[in-house]
Structures are given as C-alpha cells and as structure tokens.
Amino acid sequence: MGSYTLCWYFRQCTNVALISESVKNLSVDTQQLSNKIQIILAELNKFKRSQDASIHFVEGSYSEKLKEIREVRKNLNAYLDGLENSTLKELDEIRATLQTSLKEDVDNCSRLKDELQQLSEAVQGLCDKSEKDIEYIASRKCVDKILECESYLKDHSVKIQSSIIFQANIDIDQYLTKQSRLGRILTLKMNPNQVLTVKRKSEYNVKIPSDTSWTCNIKGICSLPSGHFILADQYNMKVKLLDQHYNVSGHCGVDGPPCDVYQITSSEVAVTLTDNSVQFISISNGQLVDGRQLKLPHIVLGIAHHQGALYITSGVALYHYTLTGALVKKLYVDISDKRRGKCIVNKFEYGTYGTYCKSICIQYVNI
C-alpha cells in the first residue's frame, strides 16, 4: 500500500503512528497470553462436554418418556380389553338365555306334534274295527292331547320376536374425543450446580402387622411416576408399596434381606438381595407381584438402571449387566480395604458413580 493510499485511508484520524514505532517500547507477556488461551480453551471444552452430555441426557429422557407413553397406552388397551370382555360376556349370556327359551318352545312343539300325529294315525286305524272300548279310549286321549295343544298355543299365542341391541357407552367416546393427547409434554429446566436445601422433614410409620422385626430398616427407596414409593425393608425381608400419602398399600416378601431398589419401568422395579440375586417386582392393580430373578456370581449390593443397562455394585466392584443378566463388563474394581455400596447413574455427566458407604468420596466411571 503506497504512502498516498495510507494518507487517504487514515485522513480522518487525528493521530496516526506506525506499528513499528508503537511496539518499540511495548512489552508483551506471551506466557500470560498463552495461559489465558489455555484457560478459555479448557472452559470451551468443558462447556462442549457439558452440552454433549446434555444431548445424551435428552435422548435418554426421550427414551424413558417414550416408554412411559407406551406404558400408558398399554394400560389403556388393558382397560379397554377388560371392558370389551365384560360386554362380550354379557352379550353371550343374553344370547344363551334367549336361545334356551326359543329351543324349549321348538322342543315342546316337536313333542306335541309327534304325540298328536301318533294319536291321529291310531284313530284312523280304528275306523275299520268295531272295538268300541278302544275307540273310546283313543278318542279321549285325542281330545286330551288336542286340549293340551290348544292350551299351549294359547299361552304362546303372542309372538314376540326377540332381538339383541347394543347401546354404546357414549360417555367413553365423548371423553376420548375431547382429549388431544395422552398427557402433557413439558420441558424441565434443571441447573446441575444448584444447591439443594431441605425445606421440610417428615416421619412416617411403614411398619405393618405381618412384620417379624420390631423395627424397619429401610435400605432403599425409589419413586414411581404414579406418585407411589417402593421401599426395601431389610429387617423384615419385604418390599413395600406406599401410596401418595405414604401409607403402606401393598407389600411382598423376598427370598433374602433386600439391599437396594431401583425403578426399571413405570410399573417395575429391581431389588438386590443378599443371596446374590436381583428380584424384579411389578406393580399391578395396586399390588406388588414377584417377577423373574437374576442369580449373579458375586455379592449384590447397590443397583441402578439407565437405558436398558443394569449397574450393580458388589462392595468392591462395579458391574455392567443387561436386563437379562448377561455381564457386559466389569467397570471398576477397588483394591483398597474400603467397601463401597450403592451406585448412581448421573445422567448429566453421562457416567456411573460407585459411592463409598462411610464417606462422601465418589469414583467416576465412563459408560
């Protein structure tokens, strides 16, 4: 760029200095600048990892809500199937009642017809004979049978044509047509750095008459989308179902003292037992129902579930299993003397934590 061009380019500037002149007395701390760049790069990488984890979290949340929606549809189908079956049962009963009455009429008509036909043939056979006593007896039987037939026809002279009608429950149809969706889809904004504060604390008695221990030892708890809670009572070897008011509304016994419980679906939980097994329990019509059981070759303490994967702690190791009990891999082993207990799936960081029983130290393991 020529001097004339420079003069024209900077003609509106009040003070112009060459860079070569300006930097003569300028000292640049390149180390500080480099450190600053590294700090910004680290923050950008941290933010990128956080957003990547959030993407995974959204996908996981989507999958879970998709399962819940399909579970709602499954329950609705079950309710409708029940209504259909009860209606069909009533339809079959009414048909059977009507058919029974009509078949009785058909059978009675056939009987009277056959008997009258036989008497008619007998009377015709006596026309060529002169046995008055036999004719008299036959005529009396004919008269009696004719009277019986006339009486039967008179009693059934009103011909009622029976048919079956169906009056649909329009309330169901009207209610469903007014609904635009199975439920509301909302976006829940969560701050992972938010400090949690205890707003209130309440105590509830979860002891039931069938408990064998004088006290309850709650080793695990999880909430369900329905608002119910599942408790693992170790001393009484029971899994208990609490309603929205924290009253015990159902329970079932397990083969050993339970150690932990975790939600699998909106109507199923998995419970770890001290006999090295995982017991699946479903919630049906407000009651707990035993399901399948997984036997594992090691101690089973803590359990967590995330996107079809089971994470189980043995006290010194963290394992990744499938829902069918197949071992995927051993994620972590602690060679110290400290024993660890439960594990938590942290969906924000997209990892799994094995927590210490007697301290707050945690171990992060990538999934």
Better-scored residue on pLDDT, 128 or 308: 308
Q: Residues 6 or more apart from 229 whose CB is under 8 A from it?
A: 221, 222, 223, 241, 242, 246
- Which phi and psi (to 5°) does residue 210 adopt? -80, 0
- Inform me whether the pLDDT recorded for 361 exceeds 50: no
State the angle between helix axes of 30-125 and 132-155 in degrees (0 to 180), rounded to the nearest 10.
150
Pairing type for strands 303-306 and 309-313 reads antiparallel
pLDDT of residue 77: 93
CATH of span 218-366: 2.130.10.10
Amino acid at 16: V
pLDDT of residue 17: 66
pTM for the full predicted model: 0.51
Domain locations along the chain: 31-191, 218-366
pLDDT band at 143 (very low <50, low <70, confident <90, very high): confident
Please give the structure tokens belonging to residue 116: 């009258």
pLDDT band at 93 (very low <50, low <70, confident <90, very high): very high
Q: How far apart are CA 203 and CA 222, in angstroms?
A: 16
pLDDT of residue 5: 52
Which pLDDT tens digit goes with each residue over 51-76?
Answer: 888 888 788 788 888 888 888 899 89
Closest CA to 243 of 268, 223, 272: 223
